[in-house]
Structure 1
Amino acid sequence: MTKPGAGGQLAFDELGTPLRATTFVVFDLETTGVSDEDTITEFGAVKVCGGEVLGEFATLVDPGRGIPPEVVALTGITNAMVYAAPRLDSVLPAFMEFVSGAVLVAHNAGFDVNFVRKACERHGYRWPKPTVLCTVQLARRVLTREEAPSCRLSALAELLHASTKPNHRALSDARATVDVFHSLLERVGSIGVQTLEELHDYIPDVTPEQRRKRSMAAHLPSTPGVYLFRGPGEEVLYVGTAVDLRRRVRQYFTASETRRRLREMVALAVRVDHVECAHALEAQVRELRLISAHKPAYNRRSKNPKQSWWLTLTDEAFPRLSLVRTPRDGALGPFRSRGMAEDAMVALQDATGLRPCTVRIPAQRASGRPCALAELGRCAAPCAGRQTVEEYSPSVSSFVGLVAGRLLDPLRVLEERLHAHSAAERFEQAGFDRDRLSVLVRTLDRGQRLAALASVAELIAARPDGNHGWEFAVVRYGRLASAGVARRGVAPMPVVDMLAASAETVLPGEGPLRGAPAEEVALVLRWLDRPGTRMVRCSRPWTEPARAAASWRGWLTRADAARSTEVGV
């Protein structure tokens, strides 16, 4: 017996879905126009399989508005014809049942599918995301420009000798599209396209080199995990994550991958390695770690796990705020850019009284000359001996208490200043103040939540896997230490005990996140925050500060709405 894949023979699960066994619903719509405000006036659909017609669906639809004269002239559908027709909310369920489980086919499919999808959204029906084929795209791939200068349905129906002549009525156009579709399938069948998957790969214009490299995905499993494209020197070119490794990697060898940068990467690649993962969270975390370790040339993010900025107090008699990459305990962050951190620094200096200068001031006998900031009232001039360490300490305590979630006074000071500028009609300055305060509140809220998670020595959580099983994550000091699943019918607690016993040992480091990368802690937190997650075990209560910035989320929403209004104006 020949082994799967030997001698060019494909394994059964690689054969794909034969076109002759695939059920297609070829459909067409007539509408009141082409904009998002327009709606459907007629459905026409033909269900076919193996070249045989299985059924038809056709109905007029009352659009609930007048049909424009130019549309009446084009389609022949008048207001009188649709007056007694059913409304869309009663037609849509029947149409969705008719197309259920089938591959949708339409001429210029994007137009028709978009109308149906939006109709489902408006009327509360779930859009099933069916496979869609467009006969315009297929015709442009199969027919030469000389053979088919135009890919309009009427032109193709005449060229391919369709038995039905399209006339801008939905069912007639759908019947004509069936004939066109079958004729195009006969042509691609003659060059070896026999399955739905092969047809999908054939329709886009793919280079022969891309097609040849599809074999690099043949060994990959259809499971969650991380994939690594390697170059001729074994270097890692690109790291990505997937719910289905084989399906995702195969997409790089089709024209569905349109990014020039990644097409260039595929041209260089000679091999694809992979790491299977228990579930999506493990895959995402491993992706971050692999990108950080290998720094692939074609990945644009997460190459530096310490790329965030933090605000921390300097270690001196009169501490000041300093921008750092590696935070100490009590630091504020993480900020996504240096500019955002600098804006927050200015706001905090104004709100707390922390000195903005960079001069190192001795605890005793300060004898410097006050700078211009002192003259402007932005500094109490400890450098000139006008402020003692004891008098300066409330400013330090204000910052420390804000970060720790013990007080919110600095935020209220900034808000009052914003209102004062607005009341004085200094709207530009008020806008600057609002944006700085927004950055500060958002970062403070995020940092406090991340720090709360990173402070827990061990936390074990579970999520339903969607098939009556469980996904588990063992989190230690904000890092994913172990991940696993208990499939349907498997007792979950023995799996939890095994994962905890075999989990990575994590030693806490310095800083609010105990040395964990901010991106990884954020990924874990997002997974834990999703509805349905359950706490299995926790080394101590996972809590957030009582006076955390979370209480300002309502203010953030209003600030964002005000900013959007300004942009719209």
Structure 2
Amino acid sequence: MSSTLVRAAREELRRKALERRVSRWETQRSFDELGRPLRDLTFCVVDLETTGGSAEGGSMITEIGAVKVRGGEILGEFQTLVNPATRIPPFIAVLTGISDAMVADAPGIESALPAFLEFARGCVLVAHNAPFDVGFLRFFAEKQGRPWPAFEVVDTAKLARRVITRDDAPNCKLSSLAVAFGATTTPNHRALSDARATVDVLHGLMERLGNLGVHTLEELQTFSSRVSAAQRKKRHLAETLPHAPGVYLFRDDRSRVLYVGTSKDLRTRVRSYFTASETRSRMGEMVGLATTVTGIECATALEASVRELRLIAEHKPRYNRRSRFPEKVHFVKLTREPWPRLSLVKRVLDDDADYLGPFSSKKVAEKALQALHDTFPIRQCSERLGRTPTKSPCVLAEMGRCLSPCDGSVDETTYAALVAQLRDTLRQRPDEVVDAINRRMTALAEEERFEEAGVHRDRLAAFVRAAARTQRLSALTRCPEVVAARREDDGRWAVHVVRRGRLAAAGVIPAGADAHDYVASLRASAETVPAAPGPVPAASAEETELVLRWLESPGIRLVDVDGEWTCPIGGASRHLALHDAVNESRKTLVPFDERRTLPTVHQPAR
């Protein structure tokens, strides 16, 4: 055979071997994904006898017993008495059978503990009521200045409380469980005997949990009886998701979206829905209906949060409680007509009018509207008025709360000046409203009409918050484009392109890449966002506020700003601190020295 053919044959063999290795790598899931099978782990089941219940309180260890087991096979045992360097209380001696004479020649904890730690090295520690036994061992390790190994711990008492019913055993004491599982050793308050009995209890619990689909250490540690067997069996739905930030969608058997969520680690977060960490009953119900989970990987956490909002608004999943109806908002509108007025509307039009909002609640919008009407006596009627109206004045006009353009009581120039003042209040300076309502509240308080003053306080708070929100949102949506970057915790730069308040593109500059070229490419591929009217025309208010919070966070660097991103110096935001403080104080206000409850009144039967 020629050398050329030999080389070709060798190359073909290398290629096929490489393909087999790649194939195995692609199909083999990581240990993190699979979990660690219980049958492959080595457990060290430990039990202690002590002179009392608290190491911090001076109690000492008198005996250590341990059994090392793997795959149901006992690999070794460890037992030693420990000289406590103090007298053993008589009732402890009676309980354990360990006397002062028995421990007189035993090693101290300074020698016994290192020997046990060497025996348990590389194992998963198991104990019945583990906080007690492990707590004692850790206490003396710290006292000796000895680093505590990173043991993973399984508590058979905790597991039993999640699995055992009263039909199985009267309680979850070791003696009761040993009987329930037919342990070959009877626990007798001696360390090694109790450890041997705990081994049998552990195996009994594992067998029962195996029937419930628990086969790995991770599943064992997170098992809860609150999570149904059907819910646990669906944990495979998370296996195809990446360890990356993004959005996940639970769907039912008809591909309807049940729930949308976001996480910095998609696989880990979705897994939690099938474990004890998920305690919300409605989420258990949702998982019961789910048949698939779809993950959408995102470049940054901000992109994930924005995508979550958009997907919730699009699909309106029944198990999401917030953000499902961003279209259900209200605005206060200052109209453009010969005799402008304020009105409550549900959407923004391209009509050159001024808008305050959006409000997610009509009730709050009405409070803000009333605050403006309390300050500016413009007309409140809904009829269209010509330039020379000839109607009769309304009750508000007679009360002096309206300039009454309907009957010619005010000329067009005077009325226009008042409207211009109102427009300036909406756009830049809310001081006219703030000062007017503060004066009214002060007068009412002096007359001890506190309830009426509270009404005006709530109106003012609603207006100030809405004005601050409108000014902040409008400032960003006026900008055709804002490009900003921030160095993340991993040292890489996250870049976002924002157009008219909407997130148009997101990315992370790869290591070694030219930053300018990357940003230019990101901008070129970003979503085109056309101009539109209103404070939040291109996105929901929630989305623009998410973007604003990111832009205002520490470490942000503005790469480029197209337009002017500015808020008025005298804007409503400077009044927010006071109203927010008042709102928080009202949540914890106690009207009396002590809270009192009304007595229950029992009505006689009729």
Q: Does 1:270 align with 2:291?
A: yes
What is the CA-CA distance between 1:275 and the residue it aligns to?
1.2
The letter for the 2-side match of 1:379 is: C
Report the counterpart of residue 144 of structure 2 in structure 1.
Answer: none
- Which runs of no fewer than 5 residues in structure 2 stay unpaired? 1-19, 49-55, 70-75, 79-123, 136-150, 593-606
For the 8 Å contact 1:461–1:528, the answer to whether it is kept is yes
Aligned with 1:252: secondary structure? helix
For the 8 Å contact 1:157–1:165, the answer to whether it is kept is no
Report the counterpart of residue 16 of structure 1 in structure 2.
Answer: 35
Q: Does 1:212 align with 2:233?
A: yes
Q: How does 1:179-258 map to 2 (within 5 A)?
A: 185-190=202-207, 191=210, 193=214, 195-258=216-279
- For 1:542 and 1:382, how far apart are their aligned partners in 2? 38
- For 1:498 and 1:26, how far apart are their aligned partners in 2? 61
Q: How does 1:531-542 map to 2 (within 5 A)?
A: 531-542=554-565
What is the CA-CA distance between 1:534 and the residue it aligns to?
2.3
Change in CA separation of 1:53 and 1:372 when aligned onto 2, cut-off 3 Å: farther
The letter for the 2-side match of 1:271 is: T
For the 8 Å contact 1:229–1:271, the answer to whether it is kept is yes
Deviations 1:351-374 (A, max 9, x none): 12222232332220x232222222
Q: Which entry has the higher C-alpha Rg, 1 or 2?
A: 2
Aligned with 1:459: secondary structure? strand
Change in CA separation of 1:561 and 1:484 when aligned onto 2, cut-off 3 Å: closer
Report the counterpart of residue 527 of structure 1 in structure 2.
Answer: 550
Over the matched positions of the two proteins, sequence identity in percent amounts to 42
- For 1:132 and 1:398, how far apart are their aligned partners in 2? 70
For the 8 Å contact 1:204–1:256, the answer to whether it is kept is no
Segment drifting more, 401-410 vs 336-345: 401-410
Report the counterpart of residue 375 of structure 2 in structure 1.
Answer: 351
Question: What is the alpha-carbon root mean square deviation over aligned residues?
Answer: 4.1
Change in CA separation of 1:6 and 1:561 when aligned onto 2, cut-off 3 Å: closer
Report the counterpart of residue 509 of structure 2 in structure 1.
Answer: 486
For the 8 Å contact 2:219–2:275, the answer to whether it is kept is no
1:140 equivalent among 134, 139, 161: 161
Q: Does 1:498 align with 2:521?
A: yes
The letter for the 2-side match of 1:296 is: P
- For 1:400 and 1:218, how far apart are their aligned partners in 2? 56
- For 1:398 and 1:178, how far apart are their aligned partners in 2? 83
- For 1:556 and 1:272, how far apart are their aligned partners in 2? 43
For the 8 Å contact 2:129–2:157, the answer to whether it is kept is yes
Q: Does 1:549 align with 2:569?
A: no
For the 8 Å contact 1:220–1:274, the answer to whether it is kept is yes
Deviations 1:131-154 (A, max 9, x none): 997765412223332343234689
Deviations 1:74-131 (A, max 9, x none): xxxxxxxxxxxxxxxxxxxxxxxxxxxx99999598xx99xxxxxxxxxxxxxxxx99
Aligned with 2:471: secondary structure? helix
Deviations 1:184-210 (A, max 9, x none): 543344438553321134333433322
Report the counterpart of residue 333 of structure 1 in structure 2.
Answer: 357
Deviations 1:16-42 (A, max 9, x none): 2567879999999xxxxxxxxxxx978
- For 1:330 and 1:27, how far apart are their aligned partners in 2? 75
Segment drifting more, 462-471 vs 331-340: 462-471
How many residues get paired? 483
Aligned with 1:331: secondary structure? strand
What is the CA-CA distance between 1:527 and the residue it aligns to?
1.7
What is the CA-CA distance between 1:491 and the residue it aligns to?
4.6
1:518 equivalent among 541, 566, 570: 541
Q: Does 1:370 align with 2:393?
A: yes
Deviations 1:291-343 (A, max 9, x none): 22222333333233322211011232221111112124520112120000001
The letter for the 1-side match of 2:411 is: T
Report the counterpart of residue 361 of structure 1 in structure 2.
Answer: 385
Aligned with 2:453: secondary structure? helix
Question: Normalization by structure 1: what TM-score?
Answer: 0.73
- For 1:480 and 1:27, how far apart are their aligned partners in 2? 58
What is the CA-CA distance between 1:548 and the residue it aligns to?
0.7
For the 8 Å contact 1:455–1:513, the answer to whether it is kept is no
What is the CA-CA distance between 1:437 and the residue it aligns to?
0.8
Deviations 1:423-457 (A, max 9, x none): 22111111111111111111211221111111111
Change in CA separation of 1:363 and 1:313 when aligned onto 2, cut-off 3 Å: same
What is the CA-CA distance between 1:265 and the residue it aligns to?
2.8
